[in-house]
Amino acid sequence: MTLPDCIETERLLLRNWRGADRDPLAEMLADPLYNRFMPGPSPRSAADALFVRIQQQIEVNGFGPWVLELPDESEFIGFLGLGIPRHTLPASPCVEIGWHLVPAFWGQGYATEGATAALQFGFEHLGLDEIVSFTVPENAASIRVMEKIGMTRDVDGDFDHPALEEGHPLRPHILYRIQHS
């Protein structure tokens, strides 16, 4: 099974990436507010590398994150979907669900709506048995999304993110899981 060109929800279009998405992706990754719980802001080169990495992930795995679009309003409000973490985690091997939205679109239920569609795709089309998600303990908004989509906290799975050095304030992460029912 491969990533479909797009998935439509009530308000969103989850679609494949286009070259024109590079600029808004770079703007989002450079935004200090977006990076409140991320180790950025990131330079343009990091955004370009992420764009290429996402394309490679989709090519190799047959799935990856989609661009989130508000039809007739905004062609890029972030990205969301499934992926295989680049680093070995306590939950590895695993498939992760994640969401990254432009701050102007936070708090409107888009992450929950898109994540619900991505979970359905993962369970029904990819045949996954489990999907995980993780964040820093202070990221209450992402924790709320995880709980709204039916994920539960795995306290025994909490970990220090291997990409961040010892003592980094964003290194501690909490783990959530959901099994296919």
Percent of the chain, pLDDT > 70?
98
Cα(111)–Cα(22) distance, rounded to whole angstroms?
20
Does residue 26 lie within any of the structural domains?
Answer: yes
Q: Is the pLDDT of residue 1 over 70?
A: no
Does residue 80 lie within any of the structural domains?
Answer: yes
Please answer whether residues 10 and 113 qualify as being in contact, where contact means their C-beta atoms are separated by less than 8 angstroms: yes
Could you read off the pLDDT of 33-69 as tens digits, one per residue? 999 999 999 999 999 999 999 999 999 999 999 999 9
Could you read off the pLDDT of 147-158 as tens digits, one per residue? 999 999 999 999
Which residues constitute the domain of residue 109?
Answer: 6-179
**pLDDT-based confidence at residue 3 (cuts at 50, 70, 90):** low
| Residue-wise DSSP of the chain | ----SEEE-SS-EEE---GGGHHHHHHHHH-TTGGGGSS----HHHHHHHHHHHHHHHHHHS--EEEEEETTTEEEEEEEEEE--SS--TT-S--EEEEEE-GGGTTSSHHHHHHHHHHHIIIIIS--SEEEEEE-TT-HHHHHHHHHTT-EE-GGG-EE-TTS-TT-TT-EEEEEEEE--
Please answer whether residues 68 and 110 qualify as being in contact, where contact means their C-beta atoms are separated by less than 8 angstroms: yes
The closest alpha carbon to 86, from 98, 71, 74, belongs to 98
Q: Is the pLDDT of residue 167 over 80?
A: yes
Does residue 71 lie within any of the structural domains?
Answer: yes
Does residue 130 lie within any of the structural domains?
Answer: yes
Does residue 1 lie within any of the structural domains?
Answer: no
Q: What is the pTM of this model?
A: 0.94
Could you read off the pLDDT of 91-143 as tens digits, one per residue? 999 999 999 999 999 999 999 999 999 999 999 999 999 999 999 999 999 99
**pLDDT-based confidence at residue 6 (cuts at 50, 70, 90):** confident
Does residue 41 lie within any of the structural domains?
Answer: yes
**CATH code: domain of residue 71:** 3.40.630.30
At 181 the pLDDT is 86
- The number of domains in the chain is 1
Q: Is the pLDDT of residue 12 over 90?
A: yes
Vertex 60 angle, CA 57 and 66, to 5°: 40
Cα(112)–Cα(146) distance, rounded to whole angstroms?
8
C-alpha 159: how far from its chain's center? 18
Does residue 16 lie within any of the structural domains?
Answer: yes
With 0-12 / 13-18 / 19 or more C-beta atoms within 10 angstroms meaning exposed / middle / buried, residue 157 is middle
